[in-house]
Amino acid sequence: MSNLLVQNIKHTNNTTAMTVDTSGRPAFPNRVVFEAHYTGGNITFTSGSNQALTYNNVSQQGGTNYSTSTGKFTVPITGFYLFAFKNNFYNIADGQIMYHGLLQNGSGFNTDEATFGEYMTSSHSSLDFTLSSTIIRKYTASDTLQPFIKVGDDGNGTGKTDATALSYHTFSGFLVG
């Protein structure tokens, strides 16, 4: 049996692809991974139109691909990505839809821009509802993805937040390969 003993794996242009620490664990400096979440007051959802979501806190590795000011993730490398997002709805009128998704390369919120979306119907206005979605899809470098939310045409609502529970509204993703 042979052993390959290296500390760094690099490209000929001296870009490090992987480092192995003293415990033998690999570290990938260019890994695309992020998790963003929203904190602050309850989010107000206006009925009948798509509304951009901006998750204002982020933990990132491998770059600054998610912007807490615009709410958009910019794809740095062409490949397959997994994205997951979760949003809470509260005070949505009975029978109204709650919808969330991702818009791809959009400057507005036309329905043809949505790369993914999921919805449910409210059954009681005083209950909390949570939509949770996951997608794996190939994206091209420089594509932008904007999370959005929509509530039905007849009733506004809010997204619940709590300073001690950061998981009411989250958006995360990583490069699969």
Per-residue tens of pLDDT for the chain, all 177 residues: 776 666 666 666 666 556 677 777 766 656 788 989 888 777 777 777 778 888 888 877 667 799 999 999 999 999 999 999 888 877 777 777 777 888 888 765 555 455 667 767 777 666 777 888 899 999 999 999 988 887 776 555 666 665 555 568 889 999 998
Whole-prediction pTM value? Answer: 0.76
Q: Give the per-residue pLDDT at 136.
A: 92
Q: How far is CA 171 from the centre of its chain?
A: 3
What domains lie within the chain, and their CATH numbers? 33-175 (2.60.120.40)
Q: Are 120 and 157 in contact (CB under 8 A)?
A: no
Output the CA torsion sign for 73, 49, 116, 124.
positive
- Residue 21 CB neighbour total at 10 angstroms: 9
pLDDT at residue 162, rounded to an integer: 59
Question: What pLDDT score does 96 carry?
Answer: 77
Whether 82 contacts 136, CB under 8 Å = yes
CB atoms within 10 A of CB 19: 15
* Nearest 10 degrees: Cα torsion 12, 139, 59, 84: -140
